[in-house]
Structure 1
Amino acid sequence: MSKLSPQIDCVIAGRNRLGESPVWSVREGKLYWVDSRGPAVFRWDPATAATESVAMPQIIGSIGLRRKGAGQLVIAMQNGLHGLDFDTGALTFLTDPEADQPENRFNDGRCDRHGRFWSGTMNDTRRDPTGALYRFDGDGRCTKMRDDIIVPNSVCWSPDDTVMYFADTYREIILTYRFHADEGAISDPRPFVETRGQKGRPDGSTVDIEGFLWNAEFGGGRVVRYTPDGRIDRVIAMPVSQPSSCVFGGPDLDILYVTSATQRLTEADLEAQPLAGSLFAVDVGVRGLPEPDYAG
């Protein structure tokens, strides 16, 4: 573990093309994340410093834990939702709501506290607004929740389950929805944060125990903590220009793990950012919330 500052450690010095979707497993005491364009799924054990990986056949958007047990994940890829047994590498097809849209792929996603997995799609050929947000229930049902999406990101919820956050990265906005937890419904979309005019765009997010949103600004080289009413509370400058997503982990859920990317960086950029594509741990002085499991 190389020390960068009093706040930030590089825990895995790598070259992920597009590190994304970090998920801390309380059950295992390990961190999972993906290189979307590797494509591969990684598992890191901070107790032993061991890192394992499983190559995947397609671009990966996001992953979530499953209630089936240790090493069991749900994974959103180019052609829909799959189950992954990390220890064997076995994939099990679950569903593909966009089999008729070959240019689309899944991107960011997360499990809610009722065991549902939410993930959005995007056009990976052009940045046309052909994407949608889906809710996958534990019984296998798939429901389209909204459409007209360019690049979906920042799927997460307030601690009291009354607010869902969602970003359309290329529209440079994070929205809030009123979240109806029992039904898994969303309503009343409102602007939460607009990043137009800033260097970076909103990528992956997580929420801490105090209800503040932490957002990785892709291209902006920073992670920003927002108050529940959308004001900037804190800015953490990262040693890379493309932080991509974040999640709380560690035994006390008080470490913010941040993924990053190398895609579209020039040779000069990579020379200036030797840790681009690495995984970072940030001591932010606040705890997060445990990541829920997918019930399917």
Structure 2
Amino acid sequence: MERVDAPACAVGESPAWSALENAWYWVDIPARRVWRLDAASGAVASFAAPEMVACVTPAAGGGLVAGMESGIFALRLTPDGALDATLLAAPPTLGPGRRFNDGRCDRQGRFWSGTMCMDMGAARADGLLYRYDAVRGLSAPLAEGLVTQNGLAWSPDGCTMYLSDSHPSRQLIWAFDYDTVEGVPHNRRLFVDMNAYPGRPDGATVDADGCYWIAANDAGRLLRFTPDGHLDRELALPMAKPSMCCFGGAGLDTLLVTSIDPSAAGGGAPQGGWAGATLLLRPGVTGIPETPFGG
């Protein structure tokens, strides 16, 4: 296990591996920053965004696609450490106190992300899940009634979609049958009730065996569930609030894990140590290549 040589994040989220660049990306949501780690040199850089960036995914032609406060954006990194942001789509449900949250691409390169109310205490179940692609634009909501949308991932064949709600009042992970041609999920069903396990279900990824890795926020561990929903592995982590994990590296055998420092995020006593740190670890299994947006 290795700590990335980067400042701790208030809310580190959305690790993404760019095979094109041989680099990792992740975000610090309240800091409005996108971070980049060059896998070959170990060089770390950060880029200032004009508003909160909740999730990023590499684009096939370079740059990133991001879910932000006011919509879905194309991002280009500039040499002076800033981001050029171009609005791609904005659902009418966004506004003050709301933003996109977890997001990633399906196996066909369509971008998915959901909206949420930033006031977690309000527990408003009005979050919506959207799909965006360059040809059809922004979809109508394809899942409703979410408090804190999270946990998006797809099975290796792309035919199963996973989605979680990490709010303390929910703590559920669902699976859907997924139409890979039309990009539509259906047959929503309970995959894992995380109320029976330690931690809340935050961000997720899928490995080459089709197993679902979820960051157990508040429990300081990663949990690996088999495709039939059985827990078969736990990895203890040196921070209480891991937020998401992603496979990458040349052999797709490394997990990059982001985390949250609740004191820096505006809640709780100072934690220090590994709180908010970004780490790399090798779990002994490999991931599968993630399709970039438009790819």
TM over 0.5: yes
**Matched residue, 1:3:** none
Aligned-pair CA distance for 1:55: 1.0
Match status 1:14 vs 2:11: no
Structure 2 unaligned regions, length at least 5:
none
Q: Which amino acid aligns with 2:69?
A: Q
**Matched residue, 2:77:** 86
Superposed CA offset, 1:165-219 (max 9, x none): 0001111001000011011011011111111154410000000011001110111
**Matched residue, 1:141:** 137
Aligned-pair CA distance for 1:94: 1.0
**Matched residue, 1:241:** 240
Match status 1:181 vs 2:172: no
Q: How does 1:63-78 map to 2 (within 5 A)?
A: 63-69=56-62, 72-78=63-69
Q: Which amino acid aligns with 2:183?
A: G
Q: Which amino acid aligns with 1:130?
A: D
Change (3 A) 1:237 1:100: closer
Superposed CA offset, 1:120-177 (max 9, x none): 0101133201110000012251112111110011111000111000001111001000
After TM superposition, the structure 1 stretch with the greater mean CA deviation from structure 2, 192-201 or 252-261, is: 192-201
Superposed CA offset, 1:204-240 (max 9, x none): 0000011001110111100011111111110000000
The 3-state SS of whatever aligns with 1:196 is: helix
8 Å CA contact 1:80, 1:98 repeated in 2:
no
TM-score, scaled to structure 1: 0.92
Q: How does 1:250-269 map to 2 (within 5 A)?
A: 250-264=249-263, 266-268=268-270
8 Å CA contact 1:255, 1:283 repeated in 2:
yes
Separation (CA, whole Å) in 2 of partners of 1:134 and 1:258? 25
**Matched residue, 2:289:** 290
TM-score, scaled to structure 2: 0.92
Change (3 A) 1:13 1:42: closer
Match status 1:127 vs 2:116: no
Q: Which amino acid aligns with 2:219?
A: G
Separation (CA, whole Å) in 2 of partners of 1:102 and 1:249? 35
Q: Which amino acid aligns with 2:212?
A: L
**Matched residue, 1:28:** 21
Separation (CA, whole Å) in 2 of partners of 1:29 and 1:68? 14
Match status 1:152 vs 2:145: no
Q: Which amino acid aligns with 1:94?
A: L
State percent identity of aligned pairs: 39
8 Å CA contact 1:79, 1:99 repeated in 2:
no
Q: Which amino acid aligns with 2:148?
A: V
Structure 1 unaligned regions, length at least 5:
1-7
The 3-state SS of whatever aligns with 2:16 is: strand
Match status 1:44 vs 2:37: yes
Separation (CA, whole Å) in 1 of partners of 2:205 and 2:152? 8
